[in-house]
Amino acid sequence: MISVAIDGPSGAGKSSMARRLAAELGFTYVDTGAMYRAIGLYALRRGADPRDEAAVAALLPDITLDIQIMDGTQHVFLNGEDVSTAIRTEEAGMAASAVGTLAPVRAFLLETQRALARSRDVLMDGRDIGTVVLPDATLKIYLTASPAARAERRQKELAEKGQPADFATVLADIEARDWQDSHRAIAPLRRAEDAVLVDTSEMDIEASFAALRALVVKAQERA
């Protein structure tokens, strides 16, 4: 089995790049952030503070997460409900980042993620894939861009969705999430020593895609 781990801060373009690479190069795309988002969403729906370890841990036995790959796209089912769209809000993203700091939540998701990589060639994105989930991945990529570049892209994306937001707010959200993801005690966001660093601050989408594609193709040829 070939596995490609793509880690990096939020807004670096991991999921759009990974989805496209997977479709073009024959991998199953596994979005681990979606799993944290589903747990964050569940905590919000149950009125629990997503930062409260005891409260969130108490909810875990009530959660059945089912990851299904349908036409190459991952769908996340939370207790039978397809929440793939519901988890895409800023609020669910922040809740995901909060529950992601909790040890019981990380332990809950680890085996699901590893099992997916055992059964097929995966391109898996997240924060700790190269460092914790798949330390023996065939290829590890750390995909990043400056906070300002990511905020600019995010602002454009929101405007296209008809949700205009001011730059300072978007930038502050990105910086808050970066801080939370990289300063937690367990499995913090960091570049694995053997990960290839790709910084797309000065690259457009096509140049970023070409750089990543070349890395993955080379790994496939070697494997």
Could you list the residues that contact ligand DC (CB under 6 A)?
10, 32-33, 36-37, 93, 96-97, 100, 126-129, 177, 181
Query: CB of 221: closest distance to ligand DC in angstroms?
Result: 27
Which of these, 39, 17, 12, 31, lies nearest to 126 by C-alpha position?
31
Pure H helices in the chain: 14-25, 32-45, 53-59, 90-99, 103-119, 147-160, 167-183, 205-222
How many C-beta atoms lie closer than 10 Å to residue 55's C-beta?
15
Place of tokens 């970023």: 208
Nearer to ligand DC, 112 or 220 (CB): 112
- Which residues make beta-bridge pairs with 75? 68
Give min distance, CB of 4 to ligand DC, in A.
14
Nearer to ligand DC, 128 or 209 (CB): 128
Residue 186 CB, shortest distance to ligand DC, in Å, is 9
In whole angstroms, the minimum distance from the beta carbon of 43 to ligand DC comes to 12
Q: With contact defined as beta carbons under 8 Å apart, do 2 and 117 qualify?
A: no
Residue 126 neighbours by CB distance under 10 Å: 30
Supply the minimum distance, in Å, between the C-beta of residue 91 and ligand DC.
12
Cα–Cα distance for residue pair 117/5, rounded to 1 Å = 10
* Segment (H or E) for 143: strand 139-144
C-beta of 126 vs 147, nearer to ligand DC: 126
For 104, list phi and psi in degrees, rounded to 5: -65, -35
Query: Cβ closer to ligand DC: 2 or 99?
Result: 99
Rounded to a whole number of angstroms, the minimum distance from the CB of residue 36 to ligand DC is 3
- Report the residue number, 16 or 220, with the smaller CB distance to ligand DC: 16
Q: Which of 99, 216 has the CB closer to ligand DC? A: 99
Distance CA 191, CA 140 (A): 9
